[in-house]
Amino acid sequence: MNEARAAIRYAKATLDFAAEKKAADKVEKDMRTIATVISENSELQSVLSSPVVKSEVKKNSLNAIFKGSHEITLGLIDTLTSNKRIEMLQEAAYKYIILFEKMKGEDVAFVTSAVPLTADIEKKILAQITKMTGNKVTIENKVDESIVGGFILRVGDLQYDASVANKLNGLKREFTNSL
């Protein structure tokens, strides 16, 4: 099964259960924390994706890092670990946030940029996305210097990649194919 589709299914099941237990807001805060911590920590990303590190070690590490999280959040970590899919925790957290915002009639735009967004640029992006989607939108900015410049915008399942790294890869493919 496609990783993104599986992450959506885990996120949806978690959201449904959290909504039933009236804890969707608390779990959403946990998911934002998980998404941020994993995206900012390359060592944690390596541990989660490593086939050498045992599942139990990954689970214990995540439980220690996210100690104090809601029991539903810890249940998701446990479920992903036992199903040997813990590497998709960050993606499941992103999908949970998106689904939760849609449930509230809002959208979350994930903007990856080489430098932090200024308030002026953030306003312009918000205006364009609000016009496109018709929903209230919030922005989550992630800084990733490897994209060199430009930005990558994700709203729901849509992604627009205007990064310099993507354009350079496109040129590289063109040159390679024309030889």
Residues 6+ apart with CB under 8 A from 69: 30, 33
Residue 74's pLDDT is what?
A: 94
Residue 140's pLDDT is what?
A: 87
C-alpha 121, offset from chain centre: 21
pTM of the model: 0.66
Given a cut of 90, whether residue 156 has pLDDT beyond it is no
Identify the band that residue 136 occupies on the pLDDT scale cut at 50, 70 and 90.
confident
**CATH 1.10.520.20 residue spans of the chain:** 3-99
Average pLDDT over residues 43-62: 91
- Element spanning 152, H or E: strand 151-155
Closest-CA residue to 4 (of 111, 156, 140) = 156
Residue 142's pLDDT is what?
A: 87
Identify the band that residue 143 occupies on the pLDDT scale cut at 50, 70 and 90.
confident
**What residue type is 152 in one-letter code?**
I
Six-digit token string for 76: 């998701």
Structurally, what CATH architecture does the domain formed by 3-99 represent?
Orthogonal Bundle (1.10)
How far apart are alpha carbons 93 and 115 in whole angstroms? 23
Given a cut of 80, whether residue 59 has pLDDT beyond it is yes
How far apart are alpha carbons 5 and 8 in whole angstroms? 5
Given a cut of 60, whether residue 130 has pLDDT beyond it is yes
Q: In terms of DSSP bridges, do strands 151-155 and 106-113 run parallel, antiparallel, or are they unpaired?
A: antiparallel
Six-digit token string for 112: 């990856």
Q: Considering the chain, what is the average pLDDT of its residues?
A: 90
Per-residue pLDDT reduced to its tens digit, 90-108: 999 999 998 998 888 778 8
Phi-psi map region of 59: left, alpha, beta (phi>0 left; psi -120 to 50 alpha): alpha
Given a cut of 70, whether residue 146 has pLDDT beyond it is yes
The number of C-alpha atoms within 13 Å of 79 and in the hemisphere containing its C-beta is: 16
Identify the band that residue 34 occupies on the pLDDT scale cut at 50, 70 and 90.
very high
Per-residue pLDDT reduced to its tens digit, 104-122: 877 888 899 999 999 999 9
Sheet holding 106-113, edge to edge: 136-143, 106-113, 151-155, 158-161
Given a cut of 90, whether residue 70 has pLDDT beyond it is yes
Question: Alpha helices, DSSP H only, in the chain?
Answer: 3-20, 24-40, 42-49, 55-65, 71-82, 89-103, 119-133, 164-178
